[in-house]
Structure 1
């Protein structure tokens, strides 16, 4: 039985998937101690030719399903996983060679925790990819110092690992999240609701290559806003809490955060894009709210 099951949802990105699988071949962890489960979420291009090259190098399973979103794809992958621990990443990521080794060291001391690692943007010449990663880095930093009892309130699903049995105890990913937006945050919230712990492990690294333009940057953060609304709806049904707006300090620190980071991109442009991201997020939030209100009116 493998110690780790690596779950990768993929949709219409065969080249990125091939690069991701290449990085898994280079893992320094014993290959007989991990398996890879790739879930094709209804791609238009067949992926069998992509994964065929890797079958004799790693223990690899390809599953196909009708398009239902990354949350459903990850759950599908977990149903076929045999490992004691689940390690999630995305098809546009390349885990570092010591990815599983560093995770194993952490799980040796905290076997029942969720562990989130550090994501490194490799497209540092792309302004929009840089700004998007700076925002994630800021959220990790902000919530770490905000609540020391639980170092973070969420981990991004492109670098997250947890015990297989506890994944189903908390209910897995919520498949009503059909976008790549908010489903990881909602899972983490349920994880904390069950009183399980989360540990941030910056030595657990994956390298992220998600090329963005201004329109795709806007759409990404617009969808994050949509996912945020769905998250708060799910959370309020569980805790009866209203949506809480972050204090002004949160936004002030967000705008000054790029000035403290080393980057190839002009800090003022990164800050401007962080403002754009927040506008897109708010727009997506209220768009999803209006959409769900209208659907209830029709019903």
Structure 2
């Protein structure tokens, strides 16, 4: 591409991919159909799990759009892996003054780029579009949590940032290997630098909730370790926007469980029975809370019973592990 062609590119889209071919194909289809002049934007696919399948998929789309555009680029990200590292590699390869971020499981509306760019003015450096996560009237607990994504103040699944701001802030902190932590960290650093995030509700990206395996939250809870890092970097904003207080309910459940097991081991059966009853009541309360307003299918109810019993000790473990790893007083 010549320097003259480079000058036509108004915005670079960074799209991290991680081996989900069907989702990536769907997202690329939406990006190729943007109402913006195809010559005025580029799409940079950053492969966070470099493989020939992703390369061939991108090459196929490039062949189909070679004559009309947009410019389509494949970038391998051999490491370090994670959404933050992938997005950093993407925006550093960008040619435009504006960088748009989305994800391979999002489906941008046809006028997404046009609406996002239209929201900028001389005093606006960052714009966040609107996310829609359609869920059933009676969602699962996972679907309800994902639906809350619509209310996020900032998400890299739908945001636009001036390249100069990314250069100045050095982009995403690659120590966060999950999107929530890296997104919140960048958002907080922008706010602490006096950079406000403008809203562009017309810049829509639909974010369908993907099916997850039964009990997936038991594996995902390990990401709580990064909450300690986020708290260490931004203690005030963390308490204002993430957790106004520690999750004492989890600590109370774990304390009751430890007291019950310890009393039983020492032969104090009445104390063990009392602590066990407290653990059972608190766990039942948590389960009822998780089921409130959600689907009551046998499979989902069983999942909530099991995860309500196992999540509190796992959550406490990973939060304390984070506090030790990052040397911060965090609970």
| Shorter-normalised TM range | 0.7 to 0.9
CA distance in 2, matches of 1:172, 1:282: 34
Unaligned runs of at least 5 residues, structure 2: 1-6, 250-288
Is contact 2:82–2:177 with CA below 8 Å preserved after alignment? Answer: yes
Is contact 1:229–1:285 with CA below 8 Å preserved after alignment? Answer: no
Deviations 1:136-161 (A, max 9, x none): 23x54xxxxxxxxxxx4xx1111111
Is contact 1:121–1:129 with CA below 8 Å preserved after alignment? Answer: no
CA distance in 2, matches of 1:219, 1:174: 23
CA distance in 2, matches of 1:281, 1:99: 40
Structure number with the bigger relative contact order (C-alpha 8 A, sep ≥ 6) is 1
1:4 paired residue among 7, 11, 30? 11
Distance 1:242 1:96, change over 3 A: closer
Distance 1:35 1:287, change over 3 A: same
Partner of 1:233 in structure 2?
Answer: 232
Kindly indicate whether residue 176 of structure 2 is the aligned counterpart of residue 177 of structure 1: yes
Larger Rg: 2
TM-score by length of 1: 0.75
Report matched runs for 1:1-299 at 5 Å.
1=7, 2-44=9-51, 46-56=53-63, 57=65, 58-67=70-79, 68-107=81-120, 109=121, 112-122=124-134, 124=136, 127-128=140-141, 130-137=143-150, 139-140=151-152, 152=153, 155-209=154-208, 210-220=210-220, 222-236=221-235, 245-246=243-244, 266=295, 283-284=314-315, 286-290=317-321, 293=324
Distance 1:215 1:267, change over 3 A: closer
CA distance in 1, matches of 2:313, 2:194: 30
Deviations 1:13-71 (A, max 9, x none): 12211111011111111111110011111245531111112114231100112141110
Partner of 2:286 in structure 1?
Answer: none
Question: How many residues get paired?
Answer: 262
Is contact 2:17–2:46 with CA below 8 Å preserved after alignment? Answer: yes
What SS is found at the alignment partner of 2:184?
A: helix
Deviations 1:205-229 (A, max 9, x none): 1111322344234544x25533322
1:294 to partner: Cα distance: 6.1
